[in-house]
Amino acid sequence: MSFRFVVGSMVVSFLLSGCATWSQTQVTNPNTAIKEIKQVSPDQVQLTEGDMTNRPYVSLGDLAVTVNKTTIFHPEPTKEMIDAKLKEEAAKLGADAVIYVRYGTVGISALSWGSLDGKGRAIQFTSN
C-alpha cells in the first residue's frame, strides 16, 4: 500500500466520522431547596431573553449549553438548536421557563467545525 493511499484513507475516515452535531451542558448554582422534580416536557418550557415579572418563581439554576458542528458537511449551529437544548435541559430540572436567554457567536474551535453557546436561568413558577 502506498503512503498516499494510507493518508487519503485516514483523511476520508476523519471527515466522515461523527455524522451528527454534539452538545454539552452545564448547570451552575442548582437550587437544592426544591425537593421534588416535576415531570415537564421540553415543549412546555417557555424561553425569554428578559425576565418574567408577571408570576412569582424560584430559580432552579443557571444553564450553559453548547451545540457543535461535527464535520464541515453539517449545518452551522443555530439559535433554534440552542433553544431546543436549553428547553431539554430545563425540563430535566422541572423548569417552567428559561429566562435571561443569551446567545454567543458561531466560531470554529479545535474540536468542532462550528460552535454556538447559549445561556439562561431555569425557573419554576410558584403558587404565591
Express each pLDDT in 48-86 by its tens digit: 999 999 999 999 999 999 998 888 888 888 999 999 999
Q: Where are the alpha helices (DSSP H) in the chain?
A: 3-16, 79-93
In the numeric block, the cell 451545540 is attached to 67
pTM (two decimals): 0.72
Domains and CATH numbers, the chain: 42-125 (3.30.110.70)
Cell numbers representing residue 54 in the block: 408577571
The burial of 111, by beta-carbon neighbours within 10 Å (0-12 exposed, 13-18 middle, 19 or more buried), is given as exposed
Measured CA to CA, the distance from residue 10 to residue 97 in angstroms comes to: 45
Q: Which are the contacts of 35, defined by CB distance < 8 A and separation ≥ 6?
A: none
Burial (CB count <10 Å: 0-12, 13-18, 19+), residue 60: buried
What pLDDT digit, counting tens, does each position of 13-36 carry? 444 444 445 556 566 666 655 667
Q: Work out the angle at residue 74's Cα, subtended by the Cα atoms of residues 71 and 78, and round it to the nearest 5 degrees.
A: 115
